[in-house]
A and B are shown apart, each in its own frame.
Chain A
Amino acid sequence: GAVVSQHPSWVICKSGTSVKIECRSLDFQATTMFWYRQFPKQSLMLMATSNEGSKATYEQGVEKDKFLINHASLTLSTLTVTSAHPEDSSFYICSARALPGNTEAFFGQGTRLTVV
């Protein structure tokens, strides 16, 4: 089946620094990728929809200047957490759909971000 690779799987950074998370579709082209965030014992919350070649669409309440999304190619989307704070510590997951319309989505392995 289709594979989505997310890197890194975990990262620790200092407050005030920036962290980049990569999401790659390995064997298919994804015009749209999605970024989610999960707090402990809570659901996956959609942060933004990443569209190849255009600006990302952010969900209400998500700071676009803090969570920078770049979808430069059909196989790569990146999420950069800028000026990280401890409250940004969370589990971030990307997903992509291989085909348009109603099809399953494939998820990356997730990135555990800890800001100290």
Chain B
Amino acid sequence: DQQVKQNSPSLSVQEGRISILNCDYTNSMFDYFLWYKKYPAEGPTFLISISSIKDKNEDGRFTVFLNKSAKHLSLHIVPSQPGDSAVYFCAASASYTGNQFYFGTGTSLTVIP
């Protein structure tokens, strides 16, 4: 049972434009969310996080939005750069489960120069 879902397996965006990656979850007990970036054959790299007490967190070009009622979060990258091309995973955890993360299936972002 996939508790975290990324319904778009791939996304292409022109350089300089905004990239929007979406993520949905089913477990209402999730209270912490993260986005990771991953290159092939490498471990994921942490990008940005958000706690359930917030609905927005911003770090440079990256902004994460959380809509708890819709169980939806999104990652906005603006402006997009060719170096942003990678697979992006959203992940969620719940305090009561011992803090392990549940990952979405990933979205492959391609930023076209």
Interface residues of A (CB under 8 A from B): 4, 6, 10, 32, 34, 36, 42-46, 49, 57, 91, 93, 95, 97, 100-102, 104-110, 112
Contacts and interface: CB of A to CB of B under 8 A. Distances in A.
Q: Which of B45, B51, B89, B103 has the most CB of A within 10 A?
A: B103
Q: Which DSSP category, helix, strand, loop or mixed, fits chain A's interface?
A: strand
B103 A105 contact: no
24 contacts: A4-B43, A34-B101, A36-B103, A42-B105, A43-B2, A44-B89, A46-B100, A46-B101, A46-B102, A49-B98, A57-B98, A102-B31, A104-B34, A104-B46, A104-B49, A105-B46, A106-B46, A107-B36, A107-B44, A107-B45, A108-B43, A109-B43, A110-B41, A110-B43
A43 B89 contact: yes
A100 B95 CA distance: 10
Q: Chain B interface: which size bin? A: 20 to 34
Contacts of A91: 41
Given A43-B106, A93-B43, A112-B41, A34 B100 contact: yes
B44 A43 contact: no
B63 to A, nearest CB: 17
